[in-house]
Amino acid sequence: MAIYLYLSLLPEALIASMLCPEEFGTYYAVGSAKKSRGQAMFFEVDPDFRDPYFRVEEAYARCIPHEDGSLKASVYVSVYRVLEHMDFDVLKHLYLTTMDGRTLELSPSNQIPNEVEQLHLYQEIVPVSPLVVSRLGPLAFIDTIVRNPVSLVTLPAIVFTELQLGELADDPEMGLMENLPYSNRDHLRQCLSDVKTKYAATKMVDRVHSPNIYYRTIKNGFFVGNQKQLRYFPMPSQEEIRTNNYRWFRSANM
Amino acid sequence: MNNYMNWIYLAIVAGVISLGVALYLYFWVIKQDPGTERAKEVASWIKEGSNAYLVKLYRALGILAVLIGAIIAIVFSIQPETAGGGAVTLHFKDGLIMSLAFIAGAISSAISGYLGMRVAVEANVRTATAANFSLSRAFKLSFNAGAVLGLAMVGMAVIGMSLILLWTGTAEAVLGFSFGASMLALLAKAGGGIYTKTADIAADLVGKVEVGIPEDDPRNPAVVADNVGDNVGDVAGMGADIFDSYVASAVAVMLLGASMGLSQAEHIKYTVVPLILCMLGIIASLIGVSLVRVKEGQKPGPALNRGTVVTCIIFAIFLLFFVRFTDVNPGIFWAAVTGLVTGVIIGFTSDYFTNDTRKPVRETARVSTSGSAINIITGFSYGLISIVPSVIGIAAATLISYYVAESFGLSGIYGIGISAVGMLSISGMIVSADAYGPIVDNARGIAEMAGMDHEVIVRADELDSAGNTAKAITKGFSISAAALTVIALFAAYAEVVQAAGVSISISLREPIVVAGVFLGAMTPPLFSALLMLSVTHNAFDMIEEVRRQFREEPGILAGTHKPDYERCVSLAAEGALSSLILPAFLAVGLPLVVGFLLGPNALGGFLGGAIFTGVIFALLMSNAGGLWDNAKKFIETGKFGGPGSDAHKAAVVGDTVGDPFKDTAGPSLNTLITVMSLVASLFAPIIAVFHLFG
C-beta atoms of A27 and B557 within 8 A: no
> What's the pLDDT band for B486 if we cut at 50, 70, 90?
confident
From A246, which residue of chain B is nearest by alpha-carbon distance?
B454
In a domain, B297, yes or no: no
From A39, which residue of chain B is nearest by alpha-carbon distance?
B212
User: Across all residues in chain B, what is the average pLDDT?
Assistant: 89
Instruction: Give the domain range for residue B153.
Output: 4-291+302-689
Which DSSP symbol is given to B662? I
Residue B76 has pLDDT above 70, yes or no: yes
Residues of A in contact with B457 (CB under 8 A): 246
Residues 6+ apart with CB under 8 A from A243: B454
In a domain, B694, yes or no: no
Proportion of chain B above pLDDT 90, given as a percent: 49
Of A178, A246, A253, nearest to B644 by CB-CB distance is: A253
Residue A123 C-alpha, separation from nearest chain B C-alpha, in angstroms: 16
A90-99, B223-232, B471-480, B643-652: the lowest-pLDDT one: B471-480
* Element of type H or E holding A161: strand A157-163
C-beta atoms of A180 and B213 within 8 A: no
From A250, which residue of chain B is nearest by alpha-carbon distance?
B214
Which of A99, A189, A253, A254 to substitute to test the interface with B, most B CBs within 10 Å? A253
pLDDT tens per residue across span B27-36: 999 999 998 8
Q: A103-106 and A40-45: which strand pairing?
A: unpaired
pLDDT given for residue A181 in this prediction: 86
Residues of A in contact with B454 (CB under 8 A): 242-243, 246, 249
Residues of B in contact with A168 (CB under 8 A): none
- For chain B, what is the domain count? 1
Which of A32, A99, A100 to substitute to test the interface with B, most B CBs within 10 Å? A100
Residues of B in contact with A179 (CB under 8 A): 638-639, 641-642
Alpha carbons B195 and B181: distance in angstroms, whole number = 21
pLDDT tens per residue across span A101-160: 899 999 999 988 887 889 999 999 999 999 999 999 999 999 998 987 777 778 999 999
Alpha carbons B671 and B102: distance in angstroms, whole number = 16
Q: What is the ipTM of this complex?
A: 0.84
Average pLDDT of the segment spanning B75-91: 68
Residues of B in contact with A249 (CB under 8 A): 454
Residues of B in contact with A246 (CB under 8 A): 453-454, 457
* Element of type H or E holding B466: helix B454-499
pLDDT tens per residue across span B604-630: 999 999 999 999 999 999 899 989 998
> What's the pLDDT band for B80 if we cut at 50, 70, 90?
low
Q: Which residue has the higher pLDDT, B679 or B484?
A: B679
Contact yes or no for A159/A126 (Cβ under 8 A): yes
pLDDT given for residue B114 in this prediction: 85
Which of A23, A30, A99 to substitute to test the interface with B, most B CBs within 10 Å? A30
Secondary structure class of A94 (helix, strand, coil): strand
C-beta atoms of A26 and B214 within 8 A: no
Query: Which residues does A contribute to its contact with B (CB < 8 Å)?
Result: 26-27, 30-33, 37, 98-101, 177-183, 185, 214, 216, 242-243, 246-247, 249-251, 253
> Amino acid identity of B247?
V
Average pLDDT of the segment spanning B149-153: 92
> What's the pLDDT band for B278 if we cut at 50, 70, 90?
very high
In a domain, B572, yes or no: yes
Alpha carbons B658 and B660: distance in angstroms, whole number = 6
Average pLDDT of the segment spanning B335-345: 87
Residue B438 C-alpha, separation from nearest chain A C-alpha, in angstroms: 22
From A244, which residue of chain B is nearest by alpha-carbon distance?
B454
Of A30, A177, A242, nearest to B454 by CB-CB distance is: A242
SS3 per residue for B479-514: HHHHHHHHHHHHHHHHHHHHHCCCCCCCCCCCHHHH
Mark B503-522 as b/e (b = at least 16 C-beta within 10 Å): ebebeeeeeebebbbebbbb
C-beta atoms of A181 and B645 within 8 A: yes
- Before A149, cis peptide (omega within 30)? no
What are the counts of helices (DSSP H) followed by strands (DSSP E) for chain B? 23, 2
Alpha carbons B657 and B651: distance in angstroms, whole number = 10
Low-confidence stretches of chain A (pLDDT < 70) are: 32-36, 209, 211, 254
Residue B19 has pLDDT above 60, yes or no: yes
- Nearest alpha-carbon partner for A155 in A192, A130, A134, A135: A130
Residues 6+ apart with CB under 8 A from B263: none
Of B212, B642, B646, nearest to A179 by CB-CB distance is: B642
In a domain, B335, yes or no: yes
From B451, which residue of chain A is nearest by alpha-carbon distance?
A247
Query: Does residue B648 belong to the interface with chain A, where contact is any CB pair within 8 Å?
Result: yes
pLDDT given for residue B601 in this prediction: 94
Residues of A in contact with B640 (CB under 8 A): 177
C-beta atoms of A101 and B559 within 8 A: yes
pTM of the predicted model as reported, rounded to 2 decimal places: 0.87
From B647, which residue of chain A is nearest by alpha-carbon distance?
A181
C-beta atoms of B641 and A181 within 8 A: yes
B408 alpha-carbon distance from chain centroid: 33
From B217, which residue of chain A is nearest by alpha-carbon distance?
A251
pLDDT given for residue B212 in this prediction: 82
Residues of A in contact with B554 (CB under 8 A): 30-33
Of B219, B453, B554, nearest to A31 by CB-CB distance is: B554
C-beta atoms of A100 and B217 within 8 A: yes
Contact yes or no for A43/A3 (Cβ under 8 A): no
Burial of B161 (0-12, 13-18, 19+ CB in 10 A): buried
pLDDT given for residue B276 in this prediction: 95
Secondary structure class of B80 (helix, strand, coil): strand
- Before A127, cis peptide (omega within 30)? yes
Query: Does residue B330 belong to the interface with chain A, where contact is any CB pair within 8 Å?
Result: no
Average pLDDT of the segment spanning B151-162: 94
C-beta atoms of A100 and B213 within 8 A: yes
* Element of type H or E holding B85: strand B85-90
C-beta atoms of A181 and B213 within 8 A: no
> What's the pLDDT band for B104 if we cut at 50, 70, 90?
very high
From A164, which residue of chain B is nearest by alpha-carbon distance?
B641
B46-50, B276-280, B372-376, B595-599: the lowest-pLDDT one: B46-50
C-beta atoms of B641 and A185 within 8 A: yes
pLDDT given for residue A32 in this prediction: 65
